[in-house]
Amino acid sequence: MADRLSLEIATPMRLVTAETADEVVIPGIEGYFGVLPGHAPFLTTLGIGRLTYRQGREERHLAVAGGFAEVRNDKVIVLADTAETPEEIDRARAERSRERAERRLAGRSQEEVDHMRCQAALARALTRIQVAERGR
């Protein structure tokens, strides 16, 4: 058994990162789960949230939404619909997305509102804001 995990995070457009990590915390569809070396294998659907991985004392964060995660003995593969590092996030745009989603959910919009879609948009915006903050 290895003492570190091999971690690959990719989207349909690119490989976001391929590194080793001591621990990975991933937003699954049923909630967050942690992976350490030697974890039992499984496959799960991703939710919307902050993916965190630790290398020694250093933590790195990404905003991810949708897709799948596969955990093998000492390897984690994340195939996300979207994944952004803190440096890639436009904080002002994320704030505008948050405000727009909150306005729609509060009924202050003239448009017909798809509540599930608005809630997902709000979750994505909040995650992007959190990840952008942690990256500073």
pLDDT computed for residue 1 by the predictor: 63
**Mind listing the domains of the chain with CATH numbers?**
5-84 (2.60.15.10), 90-134 (1.20.5.440)
Judging by beta carbons within 10 Å of its beta carbon (0-12, 13-18, 19+), is residue 92 exposed, middle or buried? Answer: exposed
pLDDT computed for residue 134 by the predictor: 83
pLDDT computed for residue 136 by the predictor: 58
Three-state DSSP string of the chain: CCCCEEEEEECCCCEEEEEEECEEEEEECCEEEEECCCCCCEEEEECEEEEEEEECCEEEEEEEEEEEEEEECCEEEEEEEEEECHHHCCHHHHHHHHHHHHHHHCCCCCCCCCHHHHHHHHHHHHHHHHHHHHCC
pLDDT computed for residue 92 by the predictor: 95
| Partners of 7 in beta bridges | 19, 76
> What residues of the chain score a pLDDT lower than 70?
1, 108-113, 136
pLDDT computed for residue 104 by the predictor: 86
Distance separating alpha carbons of residues 125 and 49, to the nearest angstrom = 10
pLDDT computed for residue 128 by the predictor: 95
pLDDT computed for residue 111 by the predictor: 61
CA angle 112, 105, 111 (to 5 degrees): 20
Nearest to 128 by CA among 98, 103, 105, 106: 98
